[in-house]
Structure 1
């Protein structure tokens, strides 16, 4: 990380400012500015690019919610850290409000600050990649930017395609799976993550076309890795509204066996960003997939429309704990308790428990300690091309690193 990583601290309490400033400045990694009012912060954000703003959500004249609405309205997309003397519950709630507005919240910090919490925050910030966030209007109104022909043509020609994030086994540190994630290499807007165009996919009702495109790419990758001596199961995201098409399980099965791939090496992760409209279709669909030999994962457990009842009444083989439990769990007793309970539930149901969003060695060691089976996250690797994933498979360095004998 270079010293051009610009950080803005918004706080009216000089003692708190100095603690933050001293800790961050000592690393030599940050260019730090200070503002003592919300209005001053907004003026600085308008006239300068800051990678990160650390804001007190209890500032006078403009509280945290008002501040979030204001910077969203002005299309400012700096990353945020929220600080406050208020309860963890309130801070987490405001954090979710910011995330729903499309802002990246990388942590919360309870006042009064303690040295350990500040060290963890500094490590969290240092683990983030430096870069100018993409233009916000793409994320705000994707269907105004991407017309239907553009999206359909990109699916056909392959500029929308799968990249693969590795999943490691925590006991061994070995890569034992991959999640296929949609990426778009756009000629005008550059390389884009799925979050920037999935709303357009839904608007134009192209979820099924995207599903089959990503599945086909996953089959290509699985075959490519197998030819190089690695049998790597691949997970593919499947939106639950698609189960209203009762032919879907058979169509998926036919595509897989036509490529001579064992269905056991394909796992469908159920995305529940939308509610289940027809429970009968849903349960018929997932039962069909399991009868055909596919794996089935409850994705983002603890978020969205999924529930404990759905977890125990569906034939899942895996539960994936949402990254919201992981980000900022250190020092948050409530979140830590929920995380441990989720892992124990999954284990008692006989499911493989995978945790998403692992970003630090501390996270990794804690997940191993509480009994998680597998992990994904930026600490291990972001999603990469099939070819680069092949290089990860052949590298022994990562396996040695993640099989650290250190404990939490």
Structure 2
């Protein structure tokens, strides 16, 4: 499971979480040689308590008997009696479970599928590797341990709201627009921002967009919400232009918005009245929205594109007919979903898919944007693959329009330093 080559030149940098030091690690593998190799490597890392099990059933039996479960389980997939997939399904049922590092001799596609399954089950997955796992990979996985996913009893209770509160918020312009910058990976300058609707109710609680946007769609308020966001964006853009900052903005359009016959006319007229050139605004549309009402979607998107607006396919890769959508609609931008960014540095299979999406954008002559970039490894990979733009918490979190100019003026140099250090 672990390569025994632990020479000084490969000695990994370790910053083990206290839980790993105190609770230890369990190695589950049917090969005694691999268990021994992993045991020795973990001891060299300073993990004094190492448990071993030759198959999944023995591992679960041990967990049931221990007063304190190990912080991490190093888990093989192919084992007799009970394989690693069964172990993951059983672990998911436990109130307290270790974080997991997967190791297998199987092909990367299968390992990636099992890794996705583990995360979907709520397991804190630290890494998924082909055997033999070298010490540097294991060290990186252990270093990423952060006491796992927030326990259910610590999760915030859902905030209750209703359609009347939403109507009031729209009437009083209480739904604000926040902006998340996008970085051009060639020039290291701001390429634009994405406009995001944010709602804080009268009690001071933030209502998640995943709550109020579906509510707006269900009760016929999504058009009002879209135009409210657009009006705020246009006002902010005019303010930025007075300061000499000509920053493009992306705005999300929902499936229900695409089906509203007069919405495209209203958007076009409002933009003209504010004197903003259409090519400074891009509308982002998710793949799922494109199949709700195809004729209406084609009409709205084509009219907006005809007037000069940019059209972005959002969350690219999450639908089942991405290629078909690219052939049907006049997109100017391809926004790659976070799920293909997160796993790419560590998983060759995901990296190949990411590379394919970027190359697809290049061949079609449209801009590729990676969303949800959170690590320097992800940023470095995107640059090496030729992705044009990146957006994510590593570069900037969403912020109110009044703070954006301050970020551009004061923090951009620091973001450039991050990028240049990572990409250089």
Normalised to the residue count of structure 2, the TM-score between the two structures is: 0.74
The answer to whether structure 1 residue 231 and structure 2 residue 246 are counterparts is yes
Give 1:339 deviation, angstroms: 1.2
- How many residue pairs get matched? 386
Contact 1:35 1:41 in 2 (8 A): no
Name which one, 1 or 2, has greater alpha-carbon Rg: 2
CA distance in 2, matches of 1:148, 1:66: 41
Match in the other structure for 1:113: 133
CA distance in 2, matches of 1:21, 1:164: 47
Give 1:80 deviation, angstroms: 6.7
Give 1:201 deviation, angstroms: 3.9
Contact 1:168 1:175 in 2 (8 A): yes
The answer to whether structure 1 residue 398 and structure 2 residue 414 are counterparts is yes
Alpha-carbon distance change, 180 to 54 in structure 1, aligned in 2, over 3 angstroms: farther
Alpha-carbon distance change, 364 to 122 in structure 1, aligned in 2, over 3 angstroms: farther
Contact 1:107 1:328 in 2 (8 A): no
Contact 1:171 1:403 in 2 (8 A): no
Give 1:266 deviation, angstroms: 0.9
Alpha-carbon distance change, 192 to 278 in structure 1, aligned in 2, over 3 angstroms: closer
Match in the other structure for 1:281: 296
Match in the other structure for 1:154: 169
CA distance in 1, matches of 2:225, 2:61: 44
Alpha-carbon distance change, 179 to 84 in structure 1, aligned in 2, over 3 angstroms: same
Alpha-carbon distance change, 129 to 188 in structure 1, aligned in 2, over 3 angstroms: farther
Most deviating of 260-269 and 15-24: 15-24
Q: Secondary structure at 1:363's aligned position in 2?
A: helix
Match in the other structure for 2:306: 291
The answer to whether structure 1 residue 341 and structure 2 residue 356 are counterparts is yes
Q: Secondary structure at 2:288's aligned position in 1?
A: coil
Please point out which of 329, 334, 344 is paired with 1:314.
329
Alpha-carbon distance change, 65 to 248 in structure 1, aligned in 2, over 3 angstroms: farther
Alpha-carbon distance change, 228 to 136 in structure 1, aligned in 2, over 3 angstroms: same
Please point out which of 271, 280, 283 is paired with 1:265.
280
- Gap runs ≥5 in structure 2: 1-14, 29-34, 54-58
Please point out which of 173, 180, 199 is paired with 1:184.
199
Q: Deviations over 1:202-241 (max 9, x none)?
A: 4444333332232233223322322322111110111234
CA distance in 1, matches of 2:109, 2:351: 13
Normalised to the residue count of structure 1, the TM-score between the two structures is: 0.76
Most deviating of 145-154 and 235-244: 145-154
Contact 1:11 1:17 in 2 (8 A): no
Contact 2:99 2:148 in 1 (8 A): no
The answer to whether structure 1 residue 374 and structure 2 residue 389 are counterparts is yes
Contact 1:165 1:384 in 2 (8 A): yes
Q: Secondary structure at 2:176's aligned position in 1?
A: strand
Please point out which of 84, 87, 100 is paired with 1:63.
87
- Gap runs ≥5 in structure 1: 26-31
- Cα RMSD (Å) of the superposition? 4.3
Give 1:323 deviation, angstroms: 1.4
Contact 2:182 2:390 in 1 (8 A): yes
Q: Deviations over 1:299-350 (max 9, x none)?
A: 1111135511211332111111111111121231211111111111101111
Give 1:293 deviation, angstroms: 1.3
Match in the other structure for 1:29: none
Match in the other structure for 1:93: 113
Give 1:286 deviation, angstroms: 0.9
Match in the other structure for 1:384: 399
Alpha-carbon distance change, 224 to 124 in structure 1, aligned in 2, over 3 angstroms: farther
CA distance in 2, matches of 1:224, 1:55: 55
Alpha-carbon distance change, 280 to 399 in structure 1, aligned in 2, over 3 angstroms: same
Contact 1:166 1:178 in 2 (8 A): yes
